Amino acid sequence: MEGLMRFISCLEIPHCLEDLQYSFNARGELRHLVTKEPFVYNYFKNEHERNHKRYKILGDMITLHVYELLEKECNLERITIPTDASDEEPKSFFFMSKAPLSKQTNLFVLLQDSGVIRAGQWNQKVIVHHSLDRGTQIPYINTALRDNSSVIVLNPNDNFVEMKEEPQALVKKEDDSGSPETKDACDLLGTQRKLILPKRCSSSPEEHTNYVWDHFISKSSARNVSFIAQGYGGLVFMDLLCKKSQEVMSKVSAVAFIDSRHHALHQARSDPEIQDWIHSHCRSWVLSAKPLDRPTGSLRKLDCAKVSVGSEKHELAPSIALQSIFRFLSRSSKSREKLVPPIRTMVTRSSTKKSM
């Protein structure tokens, strides 16, 4: 019976951060509601599994909280994909500016690393131990929106839904002596069957990014599309570039890689045109103890320029490099604008008289 009670307690899953006795203060720092102390991982002494489960639940609650901030604070819209999905099938989603993509000149696309992080996050550990500003993509989104640009926040790691079979409360079986033995449901959780269903058009980060490109990014009228890709996100962008090279090279004005895992020499070694485009339109911020923006050793003729991110910590790289990245993207956009003939207004005699 004691085991069954443990199973029932497992079902009492929190629905918000406050259920865990935590919330974010005015500075975006995670603090305990009563003690005002930072999050403590080893809450239960000598119970690693229990602490890990608590931390995982906290991560799920943070994900939901960030989704809420994207919609309410950043005024982004959640877009369900695939667009032709039925009500019954598993679906993914991403976030996009509510303003039509036809109205803005600049479009910024955010593409994070792999792992448990979802749309709007750079690093969950940084959110927990530092702040929302340092661990989420919200400062990037707000910087872009201040310039009246559009934003697309990809969700490349939302690839499948996990279905679990409902365990029976009590199951009887025979032990080695042939006598019936009762097992409670909690003891059966370790062998419980799980059904993993991939999400159509989002079963991998690459598939998700390709779908959003085909149905949204490529159809926007933005003259300047900029990608900001961290970690595995850099490899995902390179996959998109190699698959749709002409389309991407004509549409994307600049790419900022943050401690990226891409390898231009390997992924695009057979196409000199792509290599030239990477060299001209991309820049990579790499982990280094050197001050921010200092050049680092690289084969620049075969890859993009590499500069220091000003830190040797992967998780802090996006927050440190933000201003530097937007300066690069802004310069790249202005250079591209110079190649587009300006719209000239015809001066008529009547308009001259009005000005006088």
Read off the amino acid at residue 245.
S
Q: How many domains does the chain have?
A: 3
Summarize pLDDT for 139-151 with one digit per residue, the tens. 999 999 988 899 9
- Distance between CA atoms of residues 197 and 3, nearest Å: 30
Summarize pLDDT for 76-135 with one digit per residue, the tens. 999 999 999 999 999 999 999 987 777 778 999 999 999 999 999 999 999 999 999 999
State the average pLDDT over residues 50-75. Answer: 95
- Say yes or no: 69 and 178 in one domain: no
- Say yes or no: 185 and 331 in one domain: no
Summarize pLDDT for 193-217 with one digit per residue, the tens. 678 899 999 999 999 999 999 999 9
State the average pLDDT over residues 152-167. Answer: 85
Domain containing residue 104: CATH number? 3.40.50.1820
pLDDT at residue 238 is higher than 50:
yes
- Distance between CA atoms of residues 238 and 69, nearest Å: 30
In a domain, 345, yes or no: no
- Distance between CA atoms of residues 17 and 24, nearest Å: 9
> Helix (H, G, I), strand (E, B), or coil: what is residue 262?
coil
In a domain, 154, yes or no: yes
- Say yes or no: 286 and 192 in one domain: no
Read off the amino acid at residue 87.
D
In a domain, 303, yes or no: yes
> What is the percent of the chain with per-residue pLDDT over 70, rounded to a whole number?
79
pTM, two decimals, is 0.83
Read off the amino acid at residue 342.
P
In a domain, 348, yes or no: no
- Distance between CA atoms of residues 211 and 77, nearest Å: 17
Q: Tell me: cis bond preceding 100? Omega within 30 of 0 counts.
A: no
Count CB atoms within 10 A of the CB of residue 19.
12
Domain carrying residue 176: 163-197
- Say yes or no: 230 and 87 in one domain: yes
- Distance between CA atoms of residues 300 and 317, nearest Å: 22
Extended beta strands in 206-260, E state:
224-230, 252-258
Q: How confident is the model at residue 18 (pLDDT cuts 50, 70, 90)?
A: confident
With b meaning 16 or more CB within 10 Å and e meaning fewer, what string describes 191-220? eeeeeeeebbbbebbbbbbbbbbeebbeeb
- Distance between CA atoms of residues 68 and 65, nearest Å: 5
Cβ burial, residue 148 (10 Å; 0-12/13-18/19+): exposed
Final residue belonging to a domain, choices 40, 73, 106: 73
- Say yes or no: 223 and 83 in one domain: yes
With b meaning 16 or more CB within 10 Å and e meaning fewer, what string describes 58-77? bbebbbebbbebbeeebebe
Count CB atoms within 10 A of the CB of residue 50.
12
Tokens of 17: 């951060």
- Say yes or no: 168 and 312 in one domain: no
